[in-house]
Amino acid sequence: MDKKFWSEKAKRIKPYVAGEQPKFDDIIKLNTNESPFPPSPKAIEAFYNTNAADMRLYPDTNAQIVREAAAFADGVKPENIFVGNGSDDVLAMTFMALFDGEVKTPDVTYSFYTVWASLLGVDLKEIPLNDDLTIPVEKFFGGSCIIANPNAPTGLMLSLEDIEKIAANADGPVVIDEAYVAFGAETAAVLIDKYPNLLVVRTLSKAHGLAGLRMGYAIGCEDLIGALYAVKDSFNSYPTDRAAQNMAAAALYDVEYNKATVERVCRIRDNTAEELRKMGFSVTDSKTNFLFITHPAISAEELMKKLRDKAIIVRRLSNPRTSNYLRMSMGTEEQMERVLAEIRNILEG
């Protein structure tokens, strides 16, 4: 491409590289942290109950039914909820609506943060993780920050007390990206009334098994939520479609199904971690739906390639500090048994 008519901004950016969506069948796809289980049967019912002929009419611009469902699920008011087209959309709006000047983030974290910063003119300051990959809490005091909790790809969580310390010591917005919070961390949503600078971001792509639906939301005081809607209404008035709103609302109300599914994924994760440790892997204490692993006897690159030969797809992220780690999403019980067997073979081979 000669990029002749590209804007300066477009020429400068280095886009985020999403995990591959392989087209071939019979693979075990553990590279994008999707749920191994389908969404709630009530969500599926809500999808098919959508009147597709009504698609001729615009959807509700603010996705009110999703705001109400999320408010129910999180014990807040609908006024505390902003709904977007996946949490990536919510985070992009957040970068525009809340961030000016310098914003702190860990040096090993969701790599999209640096991409948004570059596209949207935010000065992201990377704070190095401690040697054990934990977050140095005090270094986030003052200014603004964005922190994934639990962090990805490390899987490690901060306690609610530490999050509160960061919010209390900040003098700008504190954004906590809780994509994986359901799998073992505590949500900071309980603090939004106390800290008007605190925004919590959620997705339905992980715990709710709805990565294909593109739904995410933010939780914060009305003033922060107002900023997000002001930017949304200056960018795309109708970011979520009619069927997606129906399906998302039903999924959020089905608290019981979500709880059972999440508990099942956590059991699979803890069993898998135990087996991997027995094989000599170093495995972080993940509170997510994935494991972050490294082995002294085989490089991450080689292991990834050998697993791929067995139709098992995992992900290696490009950050130099953790380039010898693999991130492995949790599949079903049956899938993980096969994965563990293949890894044993590879290590023994």
What is the DSSP pairing of strand 28-29 with strand 312-313? parallel
Q: What are phi and psi of 292, to 5 degrees?
A: -120, 110
Quick check: 59 binds a second copy (CB under 8 A)?
yes
Cis status, amide bond into 239, omega within 30 of 0? no
Number of residues that bind a second copy (CB under 8 A): 89
> Hey, what are 195's tokens?
């800290």
> Hey, what are 262's tokens?
């999440």
- Contact window for a second copy (CB under 8 A) among 38-46, 154-162, 179-187, 275-283: 38-46
Quick check: 96 binds a second copy (CB under 8 A)?
yes
Task: List b or e across 307-342, with b for residues whose CB sees 16 or more CB atoms inside 10 angstroms.
Answer: beebebbbbbbeeeebebbbbbbbbeeebbeebbeb
Quick check: 26 binds a second copy (CB under 8 A)?
no
Quick check: 145 binds a second copy (CB under 8 A)?
no
**Which x/- pattern over 192-231 shows residues binding a second copy (rule: CB under 8 A)?**
----xx-------x---xxxxxx-------xxx-xx-xxx
- Name the helix (H) or strand (E) containing 174: strand 174-177
- Contact window for a second copy (CB under 8 A) among 18-26, 158-166, 282-290, 337-345: 18-26
**Which x/- pattern over 102-131 shows residues binding a second copy (rule: CB under 8 A)?**
----------x--xx-xx------------
Quick check: 142 binds a second copy (CB under 8 A)?
no
Q: Where are the alpha helices (DSSP H) in the chain?
A: 8-12, 41-49, 64-74, 87-98, 112-120, 160-169, 222-232, 242-253, 255-278, 300-309, 333-348
Question: Interaction with a second copy in 245-304: which residues (CB under 8 A)?
Answer: 247
Q: Closest approach of Cβ 300 to a second copy, in Å? A: 23
Quick check: 72 binds a second copy (CB under 8 A)?
no
Q: Closest approach of Cβ 285 to a second copy, in Å? A: 26
Quick check: 233 binds a second copy (CB under 8 A)?
yes
- Contact window for a second copy (CB under 8 A) among 39-47, 148-156, 289-297, 341-349: 39-47
Return the number of other C-beta atoms located less than 10 Å from residue 265's C-beta: 25
Residue 3 or 349 having the CB closest to a second copy: 3
The Cα–Cα gap between 331 and 65 comes to 31
Tokens 């563990």 appear where? 340
- Classified as helix, coil or strand, 325 is coil
Quick check: 89 binds a second copy (CB under 8 A)?
yes
Return the number of other C-beta atoms located less than 10 Å from residue 61's C-beta: 14
Quick check: 234 binds a second copy (CB under 8 A)?
yes
- Contact window for a second copy (CB under 8 A) among 8-16, 145-153, 182-190, 336-344: 8-16
